[in-house]
Amino acid sequence: MTIIEKIIACHSGKEKVSPGDIADMEIDVRIARDFGGSNVVKNIKSFSLNVADPKKTFFTFDTNPTGSDQKYAANQQYCRQFARDQEIKVYDINSGIGTHLAIDKGLAVPGSTLVSTDSHANIVGAIGALGQGMGDRDIAAAWTQGSVWFKVPSTVKINIVGNRPANIMAKDIVLNLLHRFGANSLLGNAVELYGNIVDDLTIDERITISSMATEMGAIAILIPPSGEVLDYCKARYSGEFTPVYADEDANYSDEFTLDAGEFFVAVSMPGKPHDVVPLEKVKRKKIDSSFVGSCTDGRMEDLRIVAEILKGRSVAPGVVLKIVPTTDDIWKRCLDEGLIKIFKDAGVLLGNAGCAGCAAGQIGQNGPGEVTVSTGNRNFPGKQGKGDVFLASPAVATASAIAGHITTPDDLPKLPSIFKPSSSKREEAQKPDEMKSIDKPVVLEGKVWLIKEDNIDTDMIYHNSHLAVTDINKMGQYTFGNLQGWEDYTNRTEKGDIIITGKNFGAGSSRQQAVDCFKALGNQCILAESFGAIYERNAINAGFPIMTYNDLKELELENRDKIRIDLKEGIVTNLKNGKQIKITLFSDVQMTIYLKGDLLRV
């Protein structure tokens, strides 16, 4: 049998399995991340199930290791509460990437099985273990039953022969494999790697290569454990384990031999990890940022190489180099070895250990038009942001950040590439007669919403989770989304409505969206006893009418009454009963800005 066949047979109580067989496979390590973990818990609760073995069950919070996103933070806390009740170990947001922790903490060992909500759980193939990324129901089944059904795959054998060029990193090796096999020629197969080069791979290099099995469409890249790997795992595991090796007469569906001497320093073109080209094809392309990290290239050996290249140098002007170690232990070792100082002296943005931008986490995303060199395993459109992402080794990502363009460490320029203005001539400002004229009414009529609360802050009006929205037409949907009792305001309000509220409306932050969201809904005006100082300026400068009053009792207003507001005279009339009151007049400045529509309007 092959390696994967032996592991499956051992974990399903069978003497032998063959490709195509379905086996009920016992799972030694059962992981749910913050990404998907809450759904695993919900599945377990909805079917009234119990966790089969808490000692084999783990949470790993690696996709948002700062809790900076409210949805992630909510999911993480939901999982923590479940973990406390079930006595499940949580590797929290200060720990690092779950698959790496499984290896480094001795959870997974050669010959073991592991499942996770991480599609790169097959990283443990680096130590000769079987790891699989699975969906929420599969993980819930593993947690509650201890096993999952699994279809035995065929195995392809790849021999790498010849001498490894000095400038070829592990990332280059796996990118060359992607170049040769593409994204689907190995689809659904397990892969075993052999050759003198493979035997000499360090554990960090094995992790880099195994981490991209998913991008090749393979079930896993399994590397027979070397003596170094066995020693590493024995030092971290309290029990006994037996490494698994393929039989000499194992049956492979195919076998390939590749010459390492033909491997080139490689780069994946934006959008497709398998669209691999020699770096020379894109050399000197100007970049905006580089990223070193993810489960593919954030290990200690990677970061030592990065530090060696950065030492005594600086990141190019206008370029951002982001570094995220895979685990907190590696982060601390970087600190102990002085690497953190080298990083910071060079101008690096350093993040907490975790998945970073690959999983839309706290560091590593790029914006539209941004060109990034990344050590990640994926560069699908939108995966690491809206810009273009080239995949490369840590050496290339670092050298490119220093040069300001894609390059290698042995070809760093004396002076970095710098950004030039996109146009030598600034656009001329619009002249007054080119501006669209605005006819602003000084008498407003509309139905009222009576929101009888004081100190409604800007987070209640427009929550900070939506601050990245810059299109005013998309802001209205979030209005009052965090104000208790008014969360459905956007479904209730009508164009032309007027809001009447209490004291200190708009307290808090300086966010303009808390004004513009009302404009987006077509609300006409806000009356309040008083406004937050910044909010008042923001509303006036946006040409949005806000006015203050002392007492509205005389109007005898009820919700959805229709009123008239004379902005010039400062008179409010309840059109239902004809009663009027005086309110604070517009200042000359407010009226001037209101009539032209915006402070910036000429």
> CB atoms < 10 A from the CB of 400, how many?
34
Q: What is the model's pLDDT at position 196?
A: 94
Q: What is the pLDDT of residues 195-250, one digit of tens each?
A: 999 999 999 999 999 999 999 999 999 999 999 999 999 999 999 999 999 999 99
Q: Tokens at residue 490, please?
A: 């956007």
Is 602:588 a contact under the CB 8 Å cutoff? no
Q: What is the pTM of this model?
A: 0.84
Q: Which of 70-74, 317-321, 571-575 has the lowest mean pLDDT?
A: 70-74
Q: What is the model's pLDDT at position 426?
A: 53
Beta bridge partners of 566: 443, 571
β-strand pairing of 388-391 with 371-374: parallel
Q: What is the model's pLDDT at position 434?
A: 46
Is 408:396 a contact under the CB 8 Å cutoff? yes
Q: Which residues make Cβ contacts (< 8 Å) with residue 592, sequence separation at least 6?
A: none
Q: State the Cα torsion 382-349-314-277 to the nearest 10°.
A: -20
Q: Which of 148-162, 345-359, 418-432 has the lowest mean pLDDT?
A: 418-432
d(CA 74, CA 39): 12
> CB atoms < 10 A from the CB of 492, how many?
11
> CB atoms < 10 A from the CB of 465, how many?
14
| Average pLDDT of the segment spanning 159-163 | 96
Q: Indicate whether 91 pLDDT > 90.
A: yes
Distances (CA, A) of 56 to 30, 89, 146, 243, 323: 6, 9, 9, 20, 31
- Split at pLDDT 50, 70, 90, the class of 420 is confident
Q: Among residues 494, 516, 513, 514, which one has the least CA distance to residue 505?
A: 514
> CB atoms < 10 A from the CB of 151, how many?
13
Q: What is the pLDDT of residues 367-418, one digit of tens each?
A: 889 999 999 888 887 777 789 999 999 999 999 999 999 999 999 999 999 9
Q: What is the pLDDT of residues 94-137, one digit of tens each?
A: 999 999 999 999 999 999 999 999 889 999 999 999 999 999 99
Q: Indicate whether 438 pLDDT > 80.
A: no
> CB atoms < 10 A from the CB of 280, how many?
12
3-state secondary structure of 21: coil
β-strand pairing of 266-268 with 320-323: unpaired
Q: Which residue has the higher pLDDT, 355 or 21?
A: 21
Q: State the Cα torsion 199-201-202-204 to the nearest 10°.
A: -130
Q: What is the pLDDT of residues 125-158, one digit of tens each?
A: 999 999 999 999 999 999 999 999 999 999 999 9
Work out the burial of residue 415: count CB atoms within 10 Å of its CB; fewer than 13 is exposed, 13-18 middle, 19 or more buried.
exposed
Q: What is the model's pLDDT at position 317?
A: 96
Phi–psi pair at 55, nearest 5 degrees: -70, -20
Q: Indicate whether 439 pLDDT > 90.
A: no
- Split at pLDDT 50, 70, 90, the class of 65 is confident
Q: Indicate whether 22 pLDDT > 60.
A: yes
What single DSSP character describes residue 349? Answer: E
Domains and CATH numbers, the chain: 3-262 (3.30.499.10), 281-411 (3.30.499.10), 435-596 (3.20.19.10)
The alpha carbon dihedral of 374, 380, 382, 383 has a sign of negative
Q: What is the model's pLDDT at position 433?
A: 46
d(CA 163, CA 154): 29
The total number of residues shown for the chain amounts to: 602
Q: What is the pLDDT of residues 445-480, one digit of tens each?
A: 999 999 999 999 999 999 988 988 999 999 999 999
- Split at pLDDT 50, 70, 90, the class of 502 is very high
Q: Identify the H or E element spanning 149.
A: strand 147-151
- Split at pLDDT 50, 70, 90, the class of 64 is confident
Residues of the chain with pLDDT > 90, as a percent, come to 84
d(CA 156, CA 162): 20
Is 382:258 a contact under the CB 8 Å cutoff? no
Work out the burial of residue 485: count CB atoms within 10 Å of its CB; fewer than 13 is exposed, 13-18 middle, 19 or more buried.
exposed
Q: What is the model's pLDDT at position 519?
A: 96
d(CA 216, CA 189): 10
Q: What is the model's pLDDT at position 361?
A: 64
Phi–psi pair at 183, nearest 5 degrees: -95, -10
